[in-house]
Amino acid sequence: MPLRKIKTMKATPFALICLLTALVEFPQRAPAGDSAANITNQQSPLCLWYRQPATNWNEALPLGNGRLGAMIFGGVEREHLQLNEDTLWAGGPYDPVNTNAFAALPTVRQLVFAGKYDEADKLIGNQMMAVPLRQLPYQTLGDLFLEFPTNGPVSDYRRDLDLDTAMATVSYTVNGVHFKREYFSSPVDQVIVVQLTADQPGKISFTGRITTPQKASVTVEKSKGAHAPMGLVMSGVNGNAQGIPGALKFQGRIAVMATGGKSEAGADTIAVANADSVTLFFAAATSFKNYHDIRGNPEGITQKQIAAAGKKTFANIRAAHLAAHQKLFRRVELNLGETEAMKLPTDERIQHFAEGHDPQLATLYFQFARYLLISCSRPGSQPANLQGLWNDSMKPPWDSKYTININTEMNYWPAEPGNLPECVEPLTQMVLDLTQTGARTAKVMYGARGWVVHHNTDLWRATAPVDGPRWGMWPMGGAWLCQNLWEHYLFSGDKKYLRRIYPSIKGAAQFFLDTLVADPNLPGPANLVTCPSLSPENRHPESKTSICAGPTMDLEILRDLFANCIRAGEILGQDQDFLRQVAATRARLAPLQIGHAGQLQEWLKDWDLEAQQIQHRHVSHLYGLFPSAQIDVNTTPELATAAKKSLELRGDQATGWGTAWRINLWARLHDGDHALSVLQSLLSPRCTYPNLLDSCPPFQIDGNFGGAAGIMEMLLQSQNEEIQLLPALPRAWPAGHVRGLRARGGFEVDIAWQDGKVTSYRIRSKEPREVTVRVNGVVKKVKAELMK
């Protein structure tokens, strides 16, 4: 199969843009005709594909419509779909605020400022932590199994996930019959659809059953009438956790429609024999309406969804699914070059990416992250949790919650530049909820106005500090989340949205106006710090804990929060007096400091080189360089040099998400080769499972999202009022093109390049605008084209 190569062209201005775009466009479908179907990739370059079924979850392929998820294993004799519904968490509404906290706060602060960190840790542990100490887990819904009688050797096996169609396919031949199974999770019809076909009539037979580790029972729904579907209904209640009783009802419902053959119901199974084709729908819902209302009707919801889907044809449901997916997915196209390595199955490519011969795997990885975000975070769904949407356990790692000292924020890094702003809506909604639950925590724990969240939250929007002081006693989670929302505004310029989120930003700022304290150890007027706090999860040398005052990350987040609050208030023409107070407080924040090794200090004290883990996975103090832009190679070169030193000291090896963060940081330092070497470490078996999902380890989805953001940072940056084209292009990607990335200010950008230099670009905006562009080392003002 010949692969199209990017043509070499001389750089010519705008006139050739369209022509160039046409030339470098790669085909959606490679030409058919390669007979070795089981050896090379015949389909879209945006396919994950395998020669064998998944032998474990980390090989299975994820589908999702934002809310309803499935992992497809693709076994020939036993198909397995592991299922999730995004509101099926343990427990029910609860309030974990510790009413002793406020009384303990002054003593805790005194202990911290006196350097008695371990004593402070102990007192926090006894008086200030959430009750219960841990939050509640996200859990699996269950498993659908389809057992196929298979009498004979299997050939031509292929299992794939096409990112462009958001469909998984399994196909194989047994005894001369070619079988095909197609799967998708429809965001339109709110059902998971499975279609089973064969190239000969009467060949489809299977038995289906559904199981769950939840408290549930399964019943059979017999068909009423010759053509009505037959089905299974799983009804249950969620479990207790941490002493909080399970309060959710849930239901999963499967409908089976066979053409030809015979369908029969067992006690809790359904069997189809000798059908020509079969369509299955799976619907699921819980009684969760929002974090304080659980009076939903899962039975009514699922019955309605199945009935509505049953009235449509498979072709119609599929077409609507494709249109909804492609409307988002096709906005961005990326080509970093294509090589023979593309012909290999995905698991083999991951093994070899670091060797440098497979740039298209970086494209696939990038588009996979966009696919994942579309699949696990849509308006109306819950936000992407630590595992996105996909979790097969009742006790998942870190409860598969929302860890907001990096992980949840990272999940949304690719949303704005990757042209998926709609996917941010669940995060916005969560922050609006937290503004409410966090107001009680602010008042009771701190005697403060506004709202606060610590380092984790869950479905129930819990906001008090959890797990233990050295992880949980960090009051910055809400403030950081506000930065994500602010970025959503920056990328879109949508004032209606700004009006919606301004109360959250203002409330977060109010909390800190009331709780920042003057550090008696700091000279001069710029001495306001958070206390108690910590630099996410890094222990410092003067204690066994991480508890401290005014870690650099907090000061950086606050600089952003206060600046955003002032700008938002000004744009909306609100709260002049309050904004003056915010500005005055911002001016009194303790400054960023450069330490004795030339590094950006992680703490107020120059502790970095003595810290127990100099190579710690978190790079919290580098928040200022990325995702923030207050440290910048162009505008604050000294601080950027110090940040670089810190990054070098930290080293490149970290958890999946820690590695992904480092890619973005190296890109912001304009070192594309270094960024690529870190991407190679991420996109290797060390941090990536065969199904291309990130390994923390174990599976955690943030690395996928952070990695994709890093790839974009290498190609386009737009912080500090300037659009930079190819700011960190690695030498290994000399030619390519990208279409449809977004830049701050409401711009869309296309770039084509050859020999490492931009050969053409387009910048579009909804309104006629001038914009500053840095291209091939030259800074200039250009007029944006009008967006269609």
Applying CB under 6 A, the residues found at the interface with ligand FUC are: 386, 398, 403, 407, 537, 617, 655, 657, 696, 700
Q: What would the DSSP string read from start to end of 117-150? A: HHHHHHHHHHHTS-SSSS-PPB---EEEEEE---
457 vs 760 by CB, closer to ligand FUC: 457
Looking at the Cβ atoms of 208 and 703, the one nearer to ligand FUC is 703
Classify residue 133 as exposed, middle or buried by CB count within 10 Å of its CB (0-12, 13-18, 19+): middle
Q: How far is the CB of 745 from ligand FUC (least distance, A)?
A: 32
Distance CA 91, CA 286 (A): 12
Contacts of 103 (CB under 8 A, 6+ apart): 127
CB neighbours (10 Å) of residue 37? 16
Closer CB to ligand FUC, residue 655 or residue 681?
Answer: 655
- 318 vs 650, beta carbon nearer ligand FUC: 650
Supply the minimum distance, in Å, between the C-beta of residue 700 and ligand FUC. 6
**Residue that has been written with the tokens 């610590």 in this structure:** 454
Contact 717, 626 (CB under 8 A): no
- Closest to ligand FUC by CB, 109 vs 401, is 401
CA distance 478 to 462: 12
**DSSP one-letter code for 399:** G
Q: Closer to ligand FUC by CB, 356 or 397: give it.
A: 397
Minimum gap (Å) between residue 346 Cβ and ligand FUC: 24
Query: Cα–Cα distances in Å, from 86 out to 195, 388, 444, 518, 655?
Result: 24, 9, 30, 43, 25
Say how many CA atoms lie within 13 Å of 562 toward its Cβ. 23
Kindly tell me which of 385 and 724 has the beta carbon lying closer to ligand FUC: 385
CB 726 within 8 A of CB 751: yes
Residue 89 DSSP label? B
Q: How many C-beta atoms lie closer than 10 Å to residue 489's C-beta?
A: 24
Query: Do 669 and 640 form a contact (C-beta atoms < 8 A)?
Result: yes
108: CB partners within 8 A, 6+ apart: 120, 123, 124, 128, 531, 532
Chain position whose Cβ is nearest to ligand FUC: 398
For 386, how many CA atoms within 13 A lie in the half-sphere containing its CB? 29
Tokens describing residue 221: 């729904």
Shortest distance, position 517 Cβ to ligand FUC, whole Å: 26
Give me the least distance between CB of 657 and ligand FUC, in Å please. 6
State the minimum distance, in angstroms, from the CB of residue 660 to ligand FUC.
Answer: 11
**Closer of 189 and 537 to ligand FUC (Cβ):** 537
Shortest CB 31 distance to ligand FUC, Å? 43
| CB of residue 442 to ligand FUC, shortest distance in Å | 23
Q: Which is nearer to ligand FUC, 483 or 655 (CB)?
A: 655
Comparing CB distances to ligand FUC, the nearer of 706 and 746 is: 706
Q: Which is nearer to ligand FUC, 407 or 717 (by Cβ)? A: 407
Least Å distance, CB 391 to ligand FUC, is 13
Give CA–CA dist 16/759, Å, rounded: 9
Question: CB-wise, 329 or 661, nearer to ligand FUC?
Answer: 661
Q: How far is the CB of 397 from ligand FUC (least distance, A)?
A: 7
* Cβ neighbours for 661, distance < 8 A, ≥ 6 positions apart: 406, 410, 619, 622, 626, 654, 706
**CB-nearer residue toward ligand FUC: 378 or 617:** 617
Q: Is the backbone of residue 429 left (phi > 0), alpha (psi -120 to 50) or beta?
A: alpha
For the purposes of burial, counting CB atoms within 10 Å of the CB of 769, is it exposed (0-12), middle (13-18) or buried (19 or more)?
Answer: middle
Radius of gyration of the chain (CA): 27
Distance CA 375, CA 593 (A): 42
Question: Does residue 348 contact residue 364 with C-beta atoms inside 8 Å?
Answer: no
Q: Give the up-direction half-sphere exposure of residue 64: CA atoms within 13 A in the CB hemisphere.
A: 32
**Cα 270 to Cα 276: distance, rounded to the nearest angstrom:** 17
